[in-house]
Amino acid sequence: MHRRPQLKQLRLIQTFFGAMQMIGGPIYGYLIRQLGIQKALVICYSCTATSSLLIFTDKVSLYVSILPSIFMHGQQGHQTLLSAFTMPGKERTNAFGRMGITFGEHILQLNYYISQTIRLIETTVVLFLQFITHIYG
């Protein structure tokens, strides 16, 4: 049966995610300089999608699903993009303000999405196991 991770495990996972983000920052800056901002953002979005779509079944696969987070630096990439394409002053200030608002909304929505996904997975697993038990039991 599926067990919820204990608090110590969650702390280790969060630390690993943070380490990947810290390691990826300088590498992402290098990619922006070498490839350009648009290609670097494509890499960022690809890594974000990959990390989000990977399904984990044990501790090892959970850590593997976090590895693409090394290039999940969309906010830094968009800051670079805004600095390059906006004029200093009110235009740039408004652009950065809008980016901050969307970032805050994302954090709130992400927590809700994660909790709903966990509930859905738990319910689905229980229903699937009951179905299998009914057929083969």
Residue 130 scores a pLDDT above 60: yes
Which has the closest alpha carbon to 19: 78, 54, 63? 63
Confidence of residue 7 (pLDDT cuts 50, 70, 90): low
The 10s digit of each residue's pLDDT in 62-120 is 777 777 777 777 767 778 788 888 888 998 888 888 888 877 887 788 888 888 888 88
Give residue-wise pLDDT tens across range 17-34: 788 878 888 888 888 889
CA dist 27 and 44 (Å) reads: 12
| Banded model confidence at residue 44, pLDDT cuts 50, 70, 90 | confident
5 pLDDT exceeds 70?
A: no
Amino acid in the structure at residue 46: S
The pTM of this model reads 0.53
Q: Is residue 54's pLDDT more than 80? A: no
pLDDT, residue 31, reads 84
Distance CA 14, CA 17 (A): 5
Segments of the chain assigned E as strands: none
